[in-house]
Amino acid sequence: MVPFGPGCFWFWLFEHFPPNVLWCEERLCSFIVTPFNAWTNLGYLGASAYVWYRLRKHGNRLFRFFSQALFWVGFTSFVYHASVNFLTQVFDFFGMYLFTFLLIMYNRDRVDKWPKGSAGIKLFWIWVVGFTALTTVSLKIHEHFPIQIYIFGQILYIMWSELKAPAPPKTPNRVYFWGTLVSMVVAVTFSILDVTRTMCDPTNHWFQGHGIWHLFGATALLFAFKHYLCIYGEPSDSQT
C-alpha cells in the first residue's frame, strides 16, 4: 500500500490543516485515507436505516428525527476519517454533539422542558452548531485544549437527567438505558486504547480501536432508541 504523502488526494489539507489527534491506523494514499476508521461508520448508517423504518409512520416529529441524527453522526465521522484534516475534523465534532444532544433533547422533552415539533429540532441544531463552534475555537486558541470535558459534562448531564425523569412503564429497570451506558463504556475503552497506542497495529486495516468505538457507539444509540421507544411508544400507539 502506498503511504500517505505529497501528491495524495488529501495531503495538502492534512499538511496545512492537521487534525489535533491522530488515531493508530496508518494513513494511505487513497481517497479513503484510514479505511477501517472510515467504513465502520456504516454501523451508524445501518442503525439509521433501521430506526427510520421503525419510525417512518410515528406521529411524534421529535422522535422521528432520531433516524436523521443517526445518519449525520455516521456521515460526518466518515467524511473526517476518509480525509483526516482539521477542516473535516470539525464535522467529527459536529457528529459527537449530534450524539449527545440527541439524548439530552429527549430527556428534556420527557419532562416537558423542550419545545415540541420543528421548534424543538431547531433548538437542537442551535446547541449542536454552538458546541461545534466552541470546540473549534477552543482548539484554535490552545491546540491541546481538553475538549473531552465538553463531552464528559454532557454525558454526566444525560445520566443525571435520565435518572431524574420517570422510568418507562414498560421497562422500569431502564434496561435499555443501562445497555446504552455499557456500550458507551466499551466504546470509550477501545478509543482510549487506540489513542494511547496501548493497542495499536497501524498496518491492520481490519481492526482498529477507534473503529470499534464507532461500532459500539452505533450499538449504544440502538439501545437508546429502544429505551425511548418504550417512552414514546410504537408508531401505532402515537398520535398522527
Tell me: pLDDT of 240 over 60. Answer: no
Instruction: Domain count for the chain, please give it.
Output: 1
CATH number at residue 194: 1.20.1070
Read off the pLDDT band of 61 (50, 70, 90). very high
pLDDT in tens, 14-60: 999 999 999 999 999 999 999 999 999 999 999 999 999 999 999 99
Assess if residue 27 is contained within a domain: no
Does any domain span residue 177?
Answer: yes
| CB-based contacts of 205, cutoff 8 Å, min separation 6 | 25, 28, 35, 36
User: Could you tell me if residue 71 is inside a domain?
Assistant: yes
H or E segment and range at residue 219 = helix 209-232
Residue 5 belongs to some domain of the structure: no
pLDDT of residue 132: 96
C-alpha dist (Å) from residue 54 to 100, 105, 108, 148: 21, 20, 23, 33
- Does residue 21 fall inside a structural domain? no
Q: Kindly state whether residue 12 falls inside one of the protein's structural domains.
A: no
CA angle, 146 then 144 then 151, to 5°: 20
Q: What is the pLDDT of residues 117-150, one digit of tens each?
A: 999 999 999 999 999 999 999 998 988 788 889 9
Residue 113 lies in a domain: yes
Q: Which domain holds residue 94?
A: 35-233
Alpha-helical (H) ranges within 84-116 are 86-110
Q: Inform me whether the pLDDT recorded for 237 exceeds 70.
A: no
Q: Is residue 19 assigned to a domain?
A: no
Report the SS3 class of residue 177: helix
